[in-house]
């Protein structure tokens, strides 16, 4: 029986598995999904538990609850090496797995663009563990400030990067800060939130009218934007800007970009910033049986520009790959993958958002409402109606 | 009109004020209560919000809500100096207050017995600000441990001192740890709670049968006792014991003892470990118009041994002093203060406790029940039935 090995239970890997599960008959293939955690988490919403405006339990689901174990075996383990020449995958336990078809869906790592200190001193909105730490770090700094009111840096928060994650995170933070101020008897005025972006506008590449709306909403909530302002260095005390200014901040969160997972870079597959430029069937160059989906993959549009790594992309890739793997197993032909951009929506905290669906711009409550629909749709694709009922937004 | 100035809104100062408020007619004296915070907190229960088993809001009450402002003026300010020669009290604002009668009720400061590093690196269960910080510090360390599982010291908690505060705190901690383990996906086995005491038994001076019961209950809840084990030094990494052993712990809480507030030591009044040996009318030696109550005062029993500083003592002193001040104002005679020990009860976490009331020993649920009655009685004395209804335990 053919062995399909899927590495990673994020959107790309999980949707591949779930699609296989739907289409495969029993005993048609031996499918194994390997993931470091016992759960899948909703990467696109991690800014919420990171800020503390929602509990992380709402944003994860046990992988076993999504799988039919007669069709897909789940293995909780950390992958430590991929050897595509020997067709072996090594786990932290020392075990080695072999495969006929490999799906690499290990997600991303932070891209620091060489800025010193970011990996050491900045937090990242990366997974359940790191967002719990961000939430607790911020709250601890507020608790400390109540004891050391002469140290304003304790309640200064720097968010590096005003892309989607950065913008959505400061939106949640701005909602969270008044709660923290009440909890620790702190004046709201004392708290500073900086969103710092190197590019000449927030949400680089996004519609300027929507960007202006977003910046206005967030400024009114108390966020200070420093646009066109590269960060030169991150230190234990805060950040140093390119112009030499220093912002002292006990909390620095870097959302400035991602690259592919380091394991992929070390696997022998050709990568660009850790991402694999896949062919029309999502295969790694030179390997008929190695597929790459999600943030580890790189897909170009018709104008030759790379699509940004998104959950939407990973989900569509997972669906396409699941169907193609079934076709392969049955001796059929694969269908080339084509990404369909359904739109982009960003939340700006409670009841606020912006979005672009087709040519239509969405603002405020309308965008926030659409965001809920999109999030529920993502839940439906992962775990059907029962998951929407358990973790959905109403 | 005579000016009565009360420094401190803890049990001693507040009960003095509340007693005056009950007994004084309007315009019989000008009474001012000065306190750093706008609220009174329940010192004897701070181990609960420190562990995080109960929210701090339950353990404080706005002072203004307890006072009739026609009779007692409340001033939120920090006292920076007391000059009993000049009859002046200096505030952080630079203002100076004068008085005809001064009541010093500023509470305690930690007693470190000269152990190096305790003031710098150990937390203290001292007030609302410090217990919020302890709660958040511990939770933050659990969140960090989920990211750095190779660092067991992150979930190692050392409590220095197995007196009443230490014992009650580890009792709450033992209840809190399983909640934290669930929140951060941590094995309970990984978490260590050490209660370290220099004296040859926990709860030094307390009935041995009750002590044995308490230690058993807490050991079964996962607390490790190191009795007869002095701490030599507290470091940023943990504690070093007298025998040279090191316990690496990201959290060290010192409950080993208290001394009087430093302002009293610097006031020109004679003190022993910052506490003032008061006369039968709670006066400072050599001053007819300076009274000291609560943890700043030192009262001896008939065998010539000092009573430990407790809320029970402070409350009885406040009641006696309030009555005596009214007598003084009206030209009457003061009544000598006599402490009546009503018993001692310690909680050991949810549903567990020990106590001694008269010659009767209380264990387990019975002690926990009595503890609630005692706590509600304390609330009643501070704020009457309405406060019991708002903050009481049922």
C-alpha to C-alpha distances, B95 to A243, B4, B89, B287, nearest whole angstrom: 44, 17, 8, 23
Does the structure show a pLDDT above 90 at A36? yes
* Structure-token pair, residue A93: 């336990």
DSSP state of A387: H
Active site residue B168: yes
pLDDT confidence of residue A117: 97
Confirm if B81 and B91 have CB atoms less than 8 A apart.
no
Task: Compute the nearest-CA separation of A57 from chain B (Å).
Answer: 9
pTM of this prediction?
Answer: 0.92
Alpha helices in B281-394 (DSSP H): 311-329, 364-391
Tokens of B245: 């052993």
**pLDDT number for residue B250:** 98
Q: Does the CB of A327 have a partner CB in chain B at under 8 Å?
A: no
Task: Specify the pLDDT at position B66.
Answer: 95
Does A133 contact B139 at a Cβ distance shorter than 8 Å? no
**What is the structure's pLDDT at B265?**
87
Among partner residues A136, A142, A146, which is closest to B139 by beta-carbon distance?
A: A136
Name the band, by pLDDT with cuts 50, 70 and 90, for residue B14. very high
Residue B383: pLDDT band (50, 70, 90) is: confident
In chain A, which residues have their Cβ closer than 8 Å to the Cβ of B146? 129, 132-133
**Higher pLDDT residue, B1 or B173?**
B173
Question: Does B327 contact chain A (CB < 8 Å)?
Answer: no
Strands B258-260 and B108-110: antiparallel
- Closest by CA position to A322, among listed A88, A17, A50: A17
- Provide the pLDDT for residue A187: 96
Disruptive mutation site among A129, A137, A187, A250 for chain B (greatest number of B CBs within 10 Å): A129
- Per-residue pLDDT for A387 more than 90? no
Backbone angles phi, psi at B76, to 5 degrees: -85, 110
Distance CA(B259)–CA(B296), nearest Å, equals: 7
- Across the range A41-60, mean pLDDT stands at 96
% of chain B residues with pLDDT over 90: 87
Q: Do A146 and B129 touch (CB under 8 A)?
A: yes
B297-314 residue pLDDT tens: 999 999 999 999 999 999
Residue B263's pLDDT band, with cuts at 50, 70 and 90, is very high
Residue A393 has pLDDT above 80, yes or no: no
Confidence band of B373 (pLDDT split at 50, 70, 90): confident
**How far is A218 from chain B, CA to nearest CA, in Å?**
28
Own/partner pairs, B201-210, CB within 8 angstroms, 24+ separation = B201/B227, B202/B162, B202/B167, B202/B227, B203/B162, B203/B163, B203/B164, B203/B167, B203/B346, B204/B162, B204/B163, B206/B344, B206/B356, B207/B356, B207/B361, B209/B361, B210/B354, B210/B355, B210/B356, B210/B361, B210/B363
Q: pLDDT band at residue A97, thresholds of 50, 70 and 90?
A: very high
Average pLDDT, chain B: 95
By residue count, chain A amounts to 394
> For a pLDDT cut of 70, what percent of chain A falls above it?
100
CB-based burial label for A224 (10 Å; 0-12, 13-18, 19+): middle
- How far from chain centre, in Å, is Cα A210? 22
> Averaged over A41-62, what is the pLDDT?
96
pLDDT at position B268 is 86
State whether A140 and B144 contact (CB < 8 Å): no
pLDDT for A381: 84
Predicted confidence (pLDDT) per residue in A270-280, tens digit:
998 889 999 99
Q: pLDDT at position B387, please?
A: 87
DSSP strand pairing (B238-241 vs B231-235) = antiparallel
Q: What is the mean pLDDT of residues B243-255?
A: 97
Q: What is the pLDDT of residues A236-262, one digit of tens each?
A: 999 999 999 999 999 999 999 899 999
Shortest CA gap A187–chain B (Å) = 15
Tokens encoding B206? 């307390």
Q: Is the distance from CB of B329 to CB of B2 less than 8 angstroms?
A: yes
Q: Which of B372, B371, B375, B378 is nearest to B357 (CA)?
A: B371
Average pLDDT over residues B121-144: 97
Predicted confidence at residue A89, as pLDDT, reads: 97
Condensed to tens digits (0 to 9), the pLDDT of residues A263-304 reads 998 888 999 888 999 999 999 999 999 999 999 999 999 999
């Amino acid at each position: 029986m053919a062995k399909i090995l899927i590495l990673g239970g994020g959107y790309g890997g999980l949707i591949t598995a779930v699609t296989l599960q739907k289409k495969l008959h029993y005993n048609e293939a031996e499918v194994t999904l390997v993931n470091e955690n016992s759960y899948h988490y909703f990467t696109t919403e991690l800014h919420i538990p990171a800020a503390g405006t929602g509990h992380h339990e709402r944003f994860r689901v046990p992988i076993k609850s999504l799988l039919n174990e007669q069709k897909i075996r789940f293995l909780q383990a950390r992958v430590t090496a991929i050897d595509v020449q020997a067709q072996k995958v090594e786990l932290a336990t020392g075990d080695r797995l072999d495969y006929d078809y490999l799906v690499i869906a290990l997600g991303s790592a932070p891209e620091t663009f060489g800025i010193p200190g970011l990996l050491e001193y900045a937090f990242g909105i990366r997974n359940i563990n790191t967002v719990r730490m961000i939430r607790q770090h911020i709250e601890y700094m507020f608790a400390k400030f109540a004891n050391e009111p002469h140290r304003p840096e304790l309640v200064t928060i720097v968010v590096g990067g005003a892309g989607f994650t950065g913008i959505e995170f400061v939106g949640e933070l701005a909602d969270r800060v008044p709660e923290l101020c009440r909890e620790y008897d702190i004046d709201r005025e004392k708290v500073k939130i900086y969103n710092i972006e190197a590019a000449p506008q927030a949400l680089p590449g996004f519609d300027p009218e929507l960007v202006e709306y977003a910046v206005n909403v967030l400024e009114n909530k108390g966020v200070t934007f420093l646009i066109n302002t590269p960060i030169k260095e991150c230190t234990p005390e805060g950040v140093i800007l390119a112009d030499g200014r220093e912002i002292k901040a006990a909390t620095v969160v870097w959302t400035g970009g991602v690259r592919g997972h380091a394991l992929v870079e070390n696997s022998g597959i050709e990568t660009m910033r850790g991402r694999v430029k896949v062919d029309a069937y999502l295969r790694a160059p030179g390997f008929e049986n190695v597929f790459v989906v999600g943030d580890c993959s790189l897909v170009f549009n018709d104008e030759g520009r790379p699509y940004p790594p998104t959950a939407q992309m990973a989900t569509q890739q997972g669906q396409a790959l699941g169907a193609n793997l079934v076709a392969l197993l049955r001796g059929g032909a694969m269908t080339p993958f084509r990404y369909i951009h359904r739109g982009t929506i960003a939340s700006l905290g409670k009841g606020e958002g912006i979005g672009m669906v087709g040519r239509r711009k969405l603002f405020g409550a309308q965008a926030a409402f659409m965001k809920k629909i999109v999030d529920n749709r993502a839940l439906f694709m992962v775990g059907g109606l029962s998951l929407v009922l358990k973790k959905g937004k109403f």
